[in-house]
Amino acid sequence: MNLRQTGWIPRRQCLAALSRVILKGESMTVALADETRDLPAREAAWSRALAYATVRWYIRLEAMVDGMLDRPLKPRDAVIRVLLCQGLAEVFHFGTPDHAAVRETAELARTVQRPGAVGLVNALLRRALREREQLAAVMDRNAVTRYACPSWLIRGIRDAFPDQQEAVLQATTEPAPMTLRVNLARISREQMGSRLAEQGVVAEPHPLVPSALTLAGAADVQDLPGFAEGLVSVQDAAAQWAALLLAPKPGDRGLDACAAPGGKTGHLLECADGELDLIALDIDGGRLGRVRDNLRRLDYRARMWVGDLSDPEVWWDGEPFDAILLDAPCSATGVIRRHPDIKLLRRQRDIPDLAARQSALLTAAWDLLRPGGRLLYATCSLLRAENETVVAAWLAGRPEAHVCPSDFPGGIDRDVGRAIALGARGMDGFYYALLERQA
């Protein structure tokens, strides 16, 4: 994108969104949607890309800024720190020409209406350009600033993936690839790849997931051949293992226990060629609208029920299920490439409460499963505390619960279940444990 045509307005909206995320703790998805809504599509995309780069590297950039300041900024000037990090992100992680990044960021400083902001921004960014190698060397000495990752999460990653820790940490700094899920009930992966190639879209078959195609670059999903007809959907390759592992059969009664936004719901139906008596349950009725939209595009049907899985008396009809997918609410650290604000908003103190909730949901789901039925516990967390620790503790005293083999390629064996390391073959980080209820 031509920077001179982009101008300062997308930067202003980027700063507004970043300020909401960093200073107020709001979701970046929500903040960016609000702040870029009125921009032309091209400028909105540019603004969002800069925001993602800034947040992805914010811990490193903030440390860099603080190291160059002669004295700390006052609390009322916190927006200047955000602006400085945004400017540094343009230079170090976004590819903007140096002079343009400095000039445009300094111009944007006029809008924050703080005395001396323009001069400070101009001076600090110019100094960063002169000292970029020295600054990078200092930041690389410490894992927190090298990977722009909080220390508690680094410890969790090292504990969970001791042999892959550096690769996983590096993956937290990188954008995720765009991966498609092919509806194999209606078209082969090879045929879908040919259709994409005819439109100039370069896609490679994923080596470990039979339904996945990875694009060489991001694309507007609405323009992809086959998307409107439900032949392909956007879904990470690791996430596609959920339906493949649970493998519901035509005629099964199934439950997608935390269904929104509906990617896995659609895949469950694809695996059974639509012949699945499926209930899509979610505690948020508004989010179930997204599930409905996804299924309408795929031309599949499921019953939409609003309810809390842990309170089945309110919504359950008493008929047990053959197959249950419990994609449990979690820290989402495994999808941190797609939601880098997790690095800033998630806290170590959140994990025990999440683990307690996950255990409660697992108990509730298990009580809905018929003898001989299967339940897949899944998270997109990298942390043992939300994965095998939860399942192992839950299994104690439940002799009727049998852990099924789930030897899918690319996974790492745990004491219970199997994990996928973030970045392995381009995949997000996931954990799966497949359980069967014996009579």
What is the predicted pLDDT for the residue at 5? Answer: 42
Provide mean pLDDT across the span 118-130.
Answer: 96
pLDDT higher than 50, residue 282: yes
What is the predicted pLDDT for the residue at 427? Answer: 98
Residue 388's CB is within 10 A of a number of other CB atoms, namely 21
pTM: 0.94
What is the phi/psi pair of residue 386, to 5°?
A: -105, -5
Domain boundaries, the chain: 3-145, 179-234, 241-437
Provide mean pLDDT across the span 396-409.
Answer: 91
Provide mean pLDDT across the span 88-114.
Answer: 92
Both tokens of 358, joined, read 């996950």
Provide mean pLDDT across the span 268-280.
Answer: 96
What is the predicted pLDDT for the residue at 113? Answer: 84
Residues involved in catalysis? 380
pLDDT higher than 70, residue 6: no
Provide mean pLDDT across the span 395-405.
Answer: 94
What is the predicted pLDDT for the residue at 14? Answer: 97
- Tell me the pLDDT tens digit for each residue of 218-258: 889 999 999 999 999 999 999 999 999 999 999 999 999 99
pLDDT higher than 50, residue 91: yes
pLDDT higher than 80, residue 2: no
pLDDT higher than 60, residue 137: yes
pLDDT higher than 90, residue 279: yes
> What mean pLDDT value characterizes the chain?
95
pLDDT higher than 60, residue 3: no
Domain 179-234 sits in CATH at: 3.30.70.1170
- What radius of gyration do the chain's Cα atoms show? 23
Provide mean pLDDT across the span 326-348.
Answer: 98
Q: Are 348 and 152 in contact (CB under 8 A)?
A: yes
pLDDT higher than 90, residue 405: no
What is the predicted pLDDT for the residue at 4? Answer: 39
Provide mean pLDDT across the span 118-145.
Answer: 96
pLDDT higher than 90, residue 351: yes
- Tell me the pLDDT tens digit for each residue of 31-64: 999 999 999 999 999 999 999 999 999 999 999 9
Q: Is the omega angle on the peptide bond into residue 115 within 30 degrees of 0, that is, cis?
A: no
- Tell me the pLDDT tens digit for each residue of 162-172: 999 999 999 99
What is the predicted pLDDT for the residue at 1? Answer: 37
Provide mean pLDDT across the span 4-14.
Answer: 77
The CATH class that applies to domain 241-437 reads alpha beta
What is the predicted pLDDT for the residue at 115? Answer: 86
Provide mean pLDDT across the span 181-207.
Answer: 96
CATH superfamily of 3-145: NusB-like (1.10.940.10)
Percent of the chain exceeding pLDDT 90 equals 93
